[in-house]
Amino acid sequence: MQYVLVALVAAVVTFLVVPLVRWLAFRTNQVVQPGGRMAHLKPTPTLGGIGMLVGFAAAIGVGSLMHSFRPVFIDSSEPTGVLLAAIAITGIGVVDDVWNLSAPAKVAGQVLSASLLWIFGVTMFWFKVPFAGIVVLSNSLTPLLTAIWVIAMENAINLIDGLDGLASGIVAIASLAFGLYSLRLEALGQLPSSSIGPIIAFAVLGVCVGFLPHNWNPAKIFMGDTGAMLLGLLLAASTSVVGGRTANVSDQTFFFFAPLVIPFVILGVPMADLVFSVLRRTAHHVSFATPDKKHLHHRLMEMGHGPRRSVAILWAWTAILSAFALLPTYVSGLGFELPIAVAAVGVLLYTLFHPDLKGTHSRSGRAMQVIRRKDAGTD
C-alpha cells in the first residue's frame, strides 16, 4: 500500500499542477501550432513536463516521510541524485521546447543528467549476460554505460511522443510492470528494501496517470521534450538500480537470467521505434536529429487508423510485452504463453484488418485518382 500511496500522490499533484502550467504556457506564448509533422488541429500549449516534475518531487517527498521507506532515504545519496538529475533534464527540456536546442546541445544536456545520476550513485554495478556469467563494471566504465543507458531511454520516449496520450500511456503501463517486477525481486530477497527503483517506478506511474487526462486526444497540453526526457531519465534511473544490481534470482525462467533485459522487453515499442529510426536515418545518410514521419504511430496513421486508435494499438502492444516479461516471474510453468499469444494475434489482426481500414483505403484511392485526373487535365 505504501507504493500505491506514492503513485496516488504523484497522480493527484500532477493532475492539479498541470492546469497551472497550461495557463503559464499560454501567458508566455509557449504554444505549438498545428501543421507539418504535428497531428493536432489547434494551437496547444506545451511544457507539461514541468507539472510532471512537481508531481514526481511531491511523491518522493511523501515517500521520504514514510517509516517503511526509511532504508531508502537514510544514509543514501540516491534520492538527491535522482531529484537533481530530474530538475536538470527538465530545465534542459524547457530550454529545448522554448528555443529549440541543437542536437549536440541536447545530447550534452542528457549527458549532464546522466552524470548527476552517476555522481550520486544511481547507476548499475554489474549485469548478467545470459549463459555467460556476471560482468562487474569497473569505475571507469560505469559513467559511460550510465550515459548510454540514460540517453537511450530519454530519446526512446522522446521519439514515441508523437500522438496525444501515447508516451504517457506507454510509460504508465511499463512503469507498473517494472514496479511489480521489482517488488517480486524484493519478495524473493534478491532486491534490498533500500532500493529506490520501485519507488521511482510507482511515482512515474502516478505522474503519467495524473497527466493523461490533460493529454488525451484532443490534448489540452503537451508534455514536450520537457516531459518526454524527464520520463526517460526516471525510467533509466529505476531500471539501472534494479536490473544492474540483481545478479541472480532463479533458474526457473529465462527472464531471471538477466534482469537488465526486462526493460527492453517492457519498453519494446519505444525501443523498437528508436532502433528503426537510427537504421532508417543511417540508410538515408541523414542526421539522427532529422525529423521524419516514419515512426510507428505515423505508420499506423498512414494505414488508416485514427490518432486514438493508433494510440490504443501501441498501448495494447506495450501491455502484451509487459505481461510477457512479468508473468514468468509470478507464474511457474509454461501456461502463461497461450493467452499472451492469443492477445498478440488479436491485436495484430485488429491492426491489419480493422473494418474501417477498407473504407479508408478506398477513399484514399479515389482521392488519388481525382488528383491524377486533374493533373492530366492540366497537362
Number of domains, the chain: 1
Question: If you average pLDDT over residues 82-106, what whole number do you get?
Answer: 95
Q: Is 337 inside any structural domain?
A: no
Q: Is 367 inside any structural domain?
A: no
Query: Does residue 225 have a known ligand-binding role?
Result: yes
Provide the angle, in degrees to the nearest 10, between the axes of the packed helices 268-283 and 166-187.
120
Q: Is 315 inside any structural domain?
A: no
**pLDDT: which is higher, 374 or 185:** 185
Question: If you average pLDDT over residues 97-118, what whole number do you get?
Answer: 94
Asked whether the predicted pLDDT for residue 40 surpasses 80, the reply is no
Lowest mean pLDDT among 16-20, 112-116, 163-167, 375-379: 375-379
Q: In this predicted model, what pLDDT tens digit does every residue of 125-180 receive, in sequence order?
A: 877 666 666 777 778 888 999 999 999 999 999 989 888 999 999 999 999 999 99
Q: Is 361 inside any structural domain?
A: no
> Which residue is it, cell 480493422?
354
Query: Does residue 29 have a known ligand-binding role?
Result: no
Res 38: pLDDT: 59
CA distances from 121 to 117, 231, 332 (A): 6, 19, 35
Q: In this predicted model, what pLDDT tens digit does every residue of 275-329 receive, in sequence order?
A: 888 888 788 777 766 766 777 877 888 887 888 999 999 999 999 999 888 887 7
CA 307 – CA 312 distance, rounded (Å): 9
Asked whether the predicted pLDDT for residue 376 surpasses 60, the reply is no
Give me the percent of the chain exceeding a pLDDT of 70: 83
CA 244 – CA 173 distance, rounded (Å): 21
Res 378: pLDDT: 37
Q: In this predicted model, what pLDDT tens digit does every residue of 234-276 receive, in sequence order?
A: 999 999 988 777 655 544 444 544 566 788 888 888 888 888 8
pTM of this structure = 0.86
pLDDT class of 188 with cuts at 50, 70, 90: confident
CA 245 – CA 238 distance, rounded (Å): 11
CA 254 – CA 265 distance, rounded (Å): 12
Q: Is 53 inside any structural domain?
A: yes
Asked whether the predicted pLDDT for residue 369 surpasses 50, the reply is no
Alpha-carbon dihedral angle through residues 152, 158, 159, 165, given to the nearest 10 degrees: 130
pLDDT class of 334 with cuts at 50, 70, 90: low
Lowest mean pLDDT among 66-70, 93-97, 186-190: 186-190
Q: Is 215 inside any structural domain?
A: yes
Q: Is 276 inside any structural domain?
A: no
Range of the domain at 141: 2-250
CA 166 – CA 218 distance, rounded (Å): 12
**pLDDT: which is higher, 255 or 110:** 110
Average pLDDT, the chain: 84
What is the distance in angstroms between the CA of the first residue and the CA of the last residue of the chain? 71
Instruction: Kindly tell me the burial class for residue 41, based on how many C-beta atoms sit within 10 Å of its own C-beta (0-12, 13-18, 19 or more).
Output: exposed
Instruction: Kindly tell me the burial class for residue 187, based on how many C-beta atoms sit within 10 Å of its own C-beta (0-12, 13-18, 19 or more).
Output: exposed
CA 261 – CA 267 distance, rounded (Å): 10
Q: Which of 38-42, 228-232, 336-340 has the highest mean pLDDT?
A: 228-232
> What string of H, E and C letters represents the secondary structure of the chain?
CHHHHHHHHHHHHHHHHHHHHHHHHHHCCCEECCECCECCCCCEECCCHHHHHHHHHHHHHHHHHCHHHHHHHCCCCHHHHHHHHHHHHHHHHHHHHHHCCCHHHHHHHHHHHHHHHHHCCCCCCEEEECCCEEEECCCCCHHHHHHHHHHHHHHHHHHHCCCCCHHHHHHHHHHHHHHHHHHHHHHCCCCCCCCCHHHHHHHHHHHHHHHHHHHCCCCCCCCHHHHHHHHHHHHHHHHHHHHCCCCCCCCCCHHHCCHHHHHHHHCHHHHHHHHHHHHHHHHCCCCCCCCCCCCHHHHHHHHCCCHHHHHHHHHHHHHHHHHHHHHHHHCCCCCCHHHHHHHHHHHHHHHHHCHHHHHHHHHHHHHHHHHHHHHHHHC
Res 169: pLDDT: 96
Q: Is 292 inside any structural domain?
A: no
Give me the percent of the chain exceeding a pLDDT of 90: 52
User: Residue 206: what residue type?
Assistant: G
CA 225 – CA 231 distance, rounded (Å): 10
Q: Return the sign of the alpha-carbon dihedral for residues 302, 306, 308, 312.
A: negative
Phi, psi for residue 258 in degrees, rounded to 5: -145, 90
Res 366: pLDDT: 42
